[in-house]
């Protein structure tokens, strides 16, 4: 089944404790992206990747890092999480840029 | 700066009562406009892509249209299962990988 898989789905952690949210897609897509969604707001783009080893900032990159060492994986790293990064995070992929994106089911992060 | 504004924020309809959702955009060089549906606790699910003014796409009770300044998602004779949040997103020519989403319209259809 074609899918975008995020892990973990839920995480409660404390300020300053490094964490990684993994994202993997099995569709051989070149384009991948991370978004955060806060109550009442649409999705805001954090980082995106056009292909392996190519990443770029979205609208809200502060406090986040990404890497794209393999085509299928695009982890999101919070090196020193803070409470304002409490949010619902979505990973997405598409065959190439400018095509519809397939989304994962989301990761709900709570940072105390 | 690219901007996408959706209206209304929330829409309550009776089953069978047709209506439209609006997505207005201000961008430099539209490459594509996307409509997604999002159910509670789920990731957005793709509905339509529109690439040029005048284009229309249709699927069951939904029809999406595009002008140079806005897009409409028309819902004809909606059913309760159409209840969801509908998101609009744009991508532009000048910044290939960037996606800008609107805040969404939450549609509730009462039986």
SS3 of A44-102: the string is EEEEEEEECCEEEECCCCCCCEECCCCCCECCEEECCCCHHHCEEEEEEEECCCCCCCE
Rounded Cα gap, residues A27 and A23, in angstroms = 13
CB B44 within 8 A of CB B103: no
What is the pLDDT at residue A1? 86
What is the pLDDT at residue B52? 94
Q: Mean pLDDT for chain B?
A: 95
The proportion of chain A whose per-residue pLDDT surpasses 90, expressed as a percent, equals 93
Interchain CB contact of B46 with A (< 8 Å): yes
For A68-101, write each residue's pLDDT tens digit.
999 999 999 999 999 999 999 999 999 998 899 9
C-alpha distances (whole Å) from A74 to each of A6, A51, A87 are: 10, 10, 18
Q: Which residues of A touch B103 (CB under 8 A)?
A: 40-42
For B20-31, write each residue's pLDDT tens digit.
999 999 988 899
pLDDT surpasses 80 at B95: no
Asked if the Cβ–Cβ distance from A33 to B49 is below 8 Å, we say: no
Q: State in Å, rounded, how far the first CA of chain A is from the last one.
A: 36
Interchain CB contact of A42 with B (< 8 Å): yes
What is the pLDDT at residue A70? 96
Where helices occur in chain B by DSSP H, the ranges are none
The proportion of chain B whose per-residue pLDDT surpasses 70, expressed as a percent, equals 100
Q: Which of B9, B99, B103 sits opposite A33 (nearest CB)?
A: B99
Interchain CB contact of A38 with B (< 8 Å): no
Residue B111's Cβ-count burial label (10 Å; 0-12, 13-18, 19+) is: exposed
pLDDT band at B96 (very low <50, low <70, confident <90, very high): confident
What is the number of other CB atoms lying within 10 angstroms of the CB of residue A37? 22
Residue A46's Cβ-count burial label (10 Å; 0-12, 13-18, 19+) is: buried
pLDDT band at B94 (very low <50, low <70, confident <90, very high): confident
């Amino acid at each position: 089944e074609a899918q975008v898989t995020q892990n973990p789905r839920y995480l409660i952690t404390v300020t300053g404790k490094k964490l990684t949210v993994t994202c993997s897609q099995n569709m051989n897509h070149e384009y991948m992206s991370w978004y955060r969604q806060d109550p009442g707001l649409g999705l805001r783009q954090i980082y995106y990747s056009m292909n392996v080893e190519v990443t770029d900032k979205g609208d809200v990159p502060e406090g986040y890092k990404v890497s794209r060492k393999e085509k299928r994986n695009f982890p999101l790293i919070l090196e020193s999480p803070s409470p304002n990064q409490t949010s619902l995070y979505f990973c997405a992929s598409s065959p190439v840029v400018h095509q519809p994106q397939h989304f994962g089911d989301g990761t709900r992060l709570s940072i105390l | 700066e690219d901007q996408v504004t959706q209206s209304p924020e929330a829409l309550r309809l009776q089953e069978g009562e047709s209506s439209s959702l609006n997505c207005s955009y201000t961008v430099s060089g539209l490459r594509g406009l996307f409509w997604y549906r999002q159910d509670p606790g789920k990731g957005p699910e793709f509905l339509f892509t529109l690439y040029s003014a005048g284009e229309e796409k249709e699927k069951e009770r939904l029809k999406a249209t595009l002008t140079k300044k806005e897009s409409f998602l028309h819902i004809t004779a909606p059913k309760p299962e159409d209840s969801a949040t509908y998101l609009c997103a744009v991508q532009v020519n000048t910044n290939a990988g960037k996606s800008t989403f609107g805040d969404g319209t939450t549609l509730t259809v009462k039986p």
